[in-house]
Amino acid sequence: VRCQQYPPLRALQASAALRRASDEHKKEPLTSSSQQHFDSPPAGHQPEQKPQGPHPSYTGQGGQESEDYESEEQLQHRILTAALEFVPEHGWTAEAIAEGAKTLGLSVAAAGLFHSDGSELILHFVSECNTKLSELLKKEQKLVQLGEAEKKPIDEFLRDAVEARLKMLIPYIEKWPQALSVLLLPRNIPSSLNLLTSMIDDIWHYAGDQSTDFNWYTRRAVLTGIYNTTELVMMQDSSPGFEDTWRFLENRVADAMTMSNTASQVQSTGEAVVQGLMGAAVTVSN
Amino acid sequence: VYQVFETVAKKYDVMNDSMTLGIHRVWKDILVHKMNPCPGTLLLDVAGGTGDIAFRFINYVRSVRQRQLQRKLKHHQNLSWQEIFESYQKDQFNSLGDSQVVVCDINREMLKVGKQKAQHLGYSEGLSWVLGNAEELPFDDDKFDVYTIAFGIRNVTRIDLALQEAYRVLKPGGRFLCLEFSHVSNPLLSRLYDLYSFQVIPVLGEVIAGDWKSYQYLVESIRQFPPQEELKAMIEDAGFFKVDYENLNFGIVAIHSGFKL
């Protein structure tokens, strides 16, 4: 918590000026559409023409020179996104972040905004992938609702979802093991676990109501297991197009389905056994 | 202030070691580690007279550059000998990766000592020595990646002007780092620290440098300096974002950091 005179939303003058300068080459900045980002209120986009005093007002309209402004989080978001391009070469490191900052016209020292082990970069990437997955699943669901596509059976749905998500790792696959180890650092575990569980929940949400006799916790655990093991297999997979991984995935999902059937069988067997015992007890008592 | 440092210049390093029992080296190491500079960084070290920060920066960047080159070589497994040789030669002349330090100090004597040290220790490339006043720096806007001021800001008369100048000469995205004595909050430690400062340090000053008064001044200027939160507010006023500080040794020393965003 900072006790400062000005609200945390004051204009980032320098970065705003940079963005204006590179307007023609600028690509669309990522909007905070992902549910994982609870950014400060969105930037005002009206160009302020009338001259303002040296300090921005509380309504957040920037100084006379900037047309829009962004919060620190949004700028950090942009730097991390730009940094992803350099990960295959530099790994998930402060160097990649520095290169990313350079492309935005900022000094390489801006990498100091983040931890030197690249944690934020990795978490940012994971959350972006999860968002992409959600959007993909939502689109598919819409198609099904509109009747333009068939509803997939549950095992196929899970397989496709996990495959789509894991495919997003492919450009970074060389350095991904390094990322996994960073995600396991005690400091990062709460965030990485959070991201993982929300992704799994998402997949189950879009998988729909198909009854599989699992209760909620088991479903989560099963899919998390499938996802994690497949991810690890993918790290060591050198087959063309990762076909070994997808086959592994298929088997694991099939196992999970059989397990659910077995579970229901066990349950009904269990009931039968109990009935038998009751019958035996009654017979004995007579 | 000028005269204090004129007399102090030659014995500056020795006095630092004895006053802080050598810990100041660790503090400065921590500062450069926190900076985590990558090759290609342009550093302005203000009030950096004898070059301590500058040398550490160069060492750090050199080792980062080494690792970079090693990694590049590992990727060159499939090149012909000729290509490997050429690329090695090209990088050979770039052991600092274009990083540079400009050491700026108001005091000519301090700069002289710094230059001699550099020669003595074998630092030749990437260093510049400029005479200048922190309140009015002789540099253009938006030039530097990092601005550091280690144990210098308490000697500046108008700290707010120095902070504004720092903001001016930094590139967008640039970082401000300040290493300075600060406020000890722990009461027990505070008493011990006071005892040490007022009784021991001026005596050391007299014994080693033959100058009681200057070191008395030094100790008093430390007490007068604004504490962590206040300095943080001043840095924010100058326009920096994400201003933060890290206490070292319970607040005897603090590193303040801010970004020009």
DSSP-derived pairing of the beta strands B253-259 and B241-248: antiparallel
| Beta-sheet strand order (sheet of B100-105) | B127-131, B100-105, B42-46, B144-150, B170-181, B253-259, B241-248
By C-alpha distance, the chain A residue nearest B244 is A2
DSSP-derived 3-state class of residue B128: strand
Rounded Cα distance between B7 and B136, Å, is 24
pLDDT of residue B183: 87
In the predicted model, what is the mean pLDDT of residues A232-249?
Answer: 92
- What are the pLDDT digits (tens) for A216-233? 778 888 899 999 999 999
On the question of pLDDT at A68 being above 70, the answer is no
pLDDT of residue B20: 79
Which tops the pLDDT comparison, B84 or A89?
Answer: A89
pLDDT beneath 70, residues of chain B: 1-10, 76-80, 83-84, 87-93
On the question of pLDDT at A3 being above 60, the answer is no
Rounded Cα distance between B170 and A83, Å, is 22
- CB-CB contact of A107 with B174 (8 Å): yes
Rounded Cα distance between A4 and B241, Å, is 11
> How many angstroms away from the CA of A110 is the closest CA of chain B?
5
On the question of pLDDT at A108 being above 80, the answer is yes
Cβ atoms < 10 Å from Cβ of B234: 18
Count CA atoms within 13 Å of residue A245 on its CB side.
25
pLDDT of residue A27: 42
**What percentage of chain A exceeds 70 in pLDDT?**
70
pLDDT of residue B85: 72
- What are the pLDDT digits (tens) for A11-67? 566 666 666 655 544 444 433 333 333 333 334 333 333 333 333 333 333 333 333
CA proximity to A256, closest of A223, A211, A213, A282: A223
Cβ atoms < 10 Å from Cβ of A6: 14
Contact residues on chain A for B172, CB-CB shorter than 8 A: 14-15, 17-18, 105-107
Catalogue all structural domains in chain B, each as residue range(s) with its CATH number: 1-182+225-260 (3.40.50.150)
CB contact under 8 A, B236 and A18: no
Catalogue all structural domains in chain A, each as residue range(s) with its CATH number: 72-116 (no CATH), 119-270 (1.10.357)
Longest Cα–Cα distance of chain B, Å, equals 68
On the question of pLDDT at A210 being above 80, the answer is no
Query: What pTM did the predictor assign?
Result: 0.77
pLDDT of residue A15: 62
pLDDT of residue A279: 75
- What are the pLDDT digits (tens) for A134-145? 999 999 999 988
Structure tokens, A134: 């959600």
Contact residues on chain A for B243, CB-CB shorter than 8 A: 2
Rounded Cα distance between A167 and A160, Å, is 10
pLDDT of residue B211: 74
Buried b (16+ CB within 10 A) or exposed e, B118-154: beeeebeebbebeebbbbebeeeeebbbbbbbbbbbb
pLDDT of residue B92: 59
In the predicted model, what is the mean pLDDT of residues A169-175?
Answer: 92
CB contact under 8 A, B174 and A15: no
Rounded Cα distance between B153 and B179, Å, is 8
Say if B38 is an interface residue toward chain A (CB within 8 Å).
yes
Rounded Cα distance between B242 and B258, Å, is 6
Rounded Cα distance between A135 and A182, Å, is 27
By C-alpha distance, the chain B residue nearest A116 is B36
pLDDT of residue B161: 93
Mutate to test the interface with B, among A4, A71, A107, A178 (most CBs of B within 10 A): A107
